[in-house]
Amino acid sequence: MGKKIPLIPRRNTLANAFRFVKNPLPVLNEFVEEKGDIFAMYMGGFSKAIFTTDPEIVQYVMQKNNRNYRKSEIQTKMIAQFAGQGLLTSDGNYWLRQRRLIQPGFHKAKLAALSDIMLKVVQESCIDLDKLANSNHAFDLSVEMTKIAFQVVARSLFTTSVSNQELITLSDNIQEIQEYIVQRLRQPYLAPWFYLTGKSKRQFKISKESRAIILRIIQERRASGKSYNDLLDMLLGTRYEDTNEGMTDQQLLDESLILFVAGHETSANALAWAFYLLCKNPDSIEKIRNEYKEVVGNRKVEFSDFPKLKYTTQVIQETMRIYPPAWITDRLANEPDDIKGYHIPKDGMLAIYIYGLHHSKSYWKNPEDFIPERFEKENMKGKPSFAYMPFGGGPRLCIGNNFAMMEMQLVILELLKRYDFKLVANQKIEAMPYVTLQPKNGIQVDITKR
Ligand code: HEM
């Protein structure tokens, strides 16, 4: 007989249902406080999920015994029906085959080639930001960071093979589909309503529209025979080890679309939160600027500089600890399992509450405070490795983690070089867990040119 997993009584779940729909974070945090690192909760109907903030359990599920766990249908069906079967949404043997094929495209040498594309995107974005700086009007950081992050993924994938109008369409469509998915997850009872009002049908329509744009780019690129050294070239050039054949257009399309979905909102939110925290901690801005002066000076920032920009890296790590863009993930048990004396039934769902891990008083001193130095090597000694997991862990670790770190460093450095940032006074900033953790009402700032 194993240990009993504390259950949140159904009446508590109901009593909290309204608050949960409004914002699940405070409710979940209360449950963690009350029940500890593992508890079960009804998720509607009779299905229960086991929530955990225990790094040992998380490591076991994500890494040590990962073969016994699969992703839930939220990722493999719900997101996949609009975004297709790409790395993020596939599972089992198909996933493994694709991961092996695509992984080399994210190796260091390839990223070095992408760093110049990224720098260009950031510099181009400054044209818009200059206008905002001159206008004396406040603006929402989340909106601007989303534009930059979208351009970064788009240009890294397709360089110049996609028009600005197409990019806007893609960006709007992906945003709308994500919002729809979140609503469906939070308020499943609205499904018939979405059906009746044609909202579901519209999602399929705009998903089709996005896929058509990407398919055209792929087909034109294949036909052109030109090389661009971007991610699409890499995806086109890879061959399966066993057959020595490349991906089909449909596979390329699915993988490209998934890179958009997985890779833009996450980075955009991390960046918005980073600037927010920096505004509140101006000493850190000075430290970043000094580090930049020391490491880079007046020349252009290069790929080999990134590992040397240690403090900047720590600021990004600390930002993602406090505001992890991927705030939760899940796994289902293929077969019954026992973890630390707890029994997990077949098909039992584990909700890995990343936000809770990152704010746990057991692993972080003053978890609500912004202290980038926590990430210095000596300060991290002895910490369980899964106490911090903004990019997940185990074989399904985010494939874009180094890409994202480089992107965030570039954006922060280039923007701090050019602008001073000031938060608009008296705004309420609330972290809201949609697909990613977003500032609910945005983050209003004023910028001035330095
Ligand atoms: C700050 C930025 C980012 C964060 C916080 C983040 C977070 C994550 C997390 C937590 C996972 C694992 C999910 C799970 O195992 O359930 C993941 C997977 C993934 N991410 Fe990221 N990500 C970021 C940026 C990116 C970028 C820039 C790209 C691509 C250009 C990307 C592509 C992917 C893909 C394809 C997967 C699925 C990998 C697989 O299952 O094999 N991500 N990401």
Residue 296: give its domain's CATH number.
Answer: 1.10.630.10
Provide the domain limits for residue 392. Answer: 10-449
Structure token pair of residue 319:
């930002």
Query: What band does 410 get if pLDDT is binned at 50, 70 and 90?
Result: very high
Atom 17 of ligand 1, nearest CA residue: 398
Are 328 and 309 in contact by the 8 Å Cβ rule? The answer is no
Question: What is the Å distance from ligand 1's center to 445 Cα?
Answer: 28
Question: What is the Å distance from ligand 1's center to 352 Cα?
Answer: 15
Question: What is the Å distance from ligand 1's center to 281 Cα?
Answer: 28
Structure token pair of residue 169:
């369409």
Q: Is residue 251 over pLDDT 90?
A: yes
Counted domains in the chain: 1
Q: Is residue 191 over pLDDT 70?
A: no
Question: What is the Å distance from ligand 1's center to 258 Cα?
Answer: 10
Mean pLDDT of the chain: 92
Q: Is residue 194 over pLDDT 60?
A: no
- Return all residues near 435 (Cβ < 8 A) that are at least 6 apart: 178, 181, 182, 265
Short-list 165, 145, 167, CA closest to 156: 167
- List the beta bridge partners of residue 420: 448
Q: What is the pLDDT of residues 175-186, one digit of tens each?
A: 888 778 777 776
Residue 199's alpha-carbon distances to 42, 194, 253, 449, in angstroms, are: 28, 5, 24, 43
Question: What is the Å distance from ligand 1's center to 371 Cα?
Answer: 25
- List the beta bridge partners of residue 48: 42
Atom 26 of ligand 1, nearest CA residue: 263
Structural domain includes residue 335:
yes
Ligand 1 mutation pick, 102, 266, 349, 410, max ligand atoms within 8 A of CB:
266
Atom 1 of ligand 1, nearest CA residue: 267
- Return all residues near 253 (Cβ < 8 A) that are at least 6 apart: 84, 211, 214, 215, 218
Q: For residues 99-120, give the mean pLDDT.
A: 92
Say how far apart CA 158 and CA 153 lie, in whole Å.
8
Structural domain includes residue 397:
yes
Short-list 262, 211, 259, 264, CA closest to 232: 259
Ligand 1 mutation pick, 62, 155, 323, 398, max ligand atoms within 8 A of CB:
398
Atom number in ligand 1 closest to CA 269? 1
Atom number in ligand 1 closest to CA 404? 27
Structural domain includes residue 251:
yes
Q: For residues 293-318, give the mean pLDDT.
A: 96
Q: For residues 140-167, give the mean pLDDT.
A: 91
3-class secondary structure per residue, the chain: CCECCCECCHHHHHHCHHHHHHCHHHHHHHHHHHHCCEEEEECCCCCEEEEECCHHHHHHHHHHCHHHEECCHHHHHHHHHHHCCCHHHCCHHHHHHHHHHHHHHHCHHHHHHHHHHHHHHHHHHHHHHHHHHHHCCCEEHHHHHHHHHHHHHHHHHHCCCCCHHHHHHHHHHHHHHHHHHHHHHHCHHHHHHHHHCCHHHHHHHHHHHHHHHHHHHHHHHHHHCCCCCCHHHHHHHCCCCCCCCCCCHHHHHHHHHHHHHHHHHHHHHHHHHHHHHHHHCHHHHHHHHHHHHHHCCCCCCCHHHHHHCHHHHHHHHHHHHHCCCCCCEEEEECCCEEECCEEECCCCEEEECHHHHHCCCCCCCCCCCCCHHHHCHHHHCCCCHHHCCCCCCHHHCCCCHHHHHHHHHHHHHHHHHHEEEEECCCCCCCEEECCCEEECCCCEEEEEEC
Neighbours of 228 (CB within 10 A): 18
Atom number in ligand 1 closest to CA 88? 37
Are 25 and 431 in contact by the 8 Å Cβ rule? The answer is yes
Question: What is the Å distance from ligand 1's center to 275 Cα?
Answer: 21
Atom number in ligand 1 closest to CA 86? 35
Residue 187's pLDDT is: 64
3-class secondary structure per residue, 329-397: EEEEECCCEEECCEEECCCCEEEECHHHHHCCCCCCCCCCCCCHHHHCHHHHCCCCHHHCCCCCCHHHC
Residue with tokens 């692993």, as numbered in its chain? 363
**pTM exceeds 0.85 for this model:** yes
Structural domain includes residue 4:
no
Atom number in ligand 1 closest to CA 270? 1
Question: What is the Å distance from ligand 1's center to 401 Cα?
Answer: 7
Ligand 1 pocket residues where CB is under 6 Å: 87-88, 99, 153, 258-259, 262-263, 266-267, 270, 325-326, 329, 390-392, 396, 398-400, 403-404
Q: Is residue 317 over pLDDT 70?
A: yes
Question: What is the Å distance from ligand 1's center to 71 Cα?
Answer: 14
Q: What is the pLDDT of residues 342-362, one digit of tens each?
A: 999 999 999 999 999 999 999
Structural domain includes residue 3:
no
Are 173 and 206 in contact by the 8 Å Cβ rule? The answer is yes
Query: What band does 42 get if pLDDT is binned at 50, 70 and 90?
Result: confident
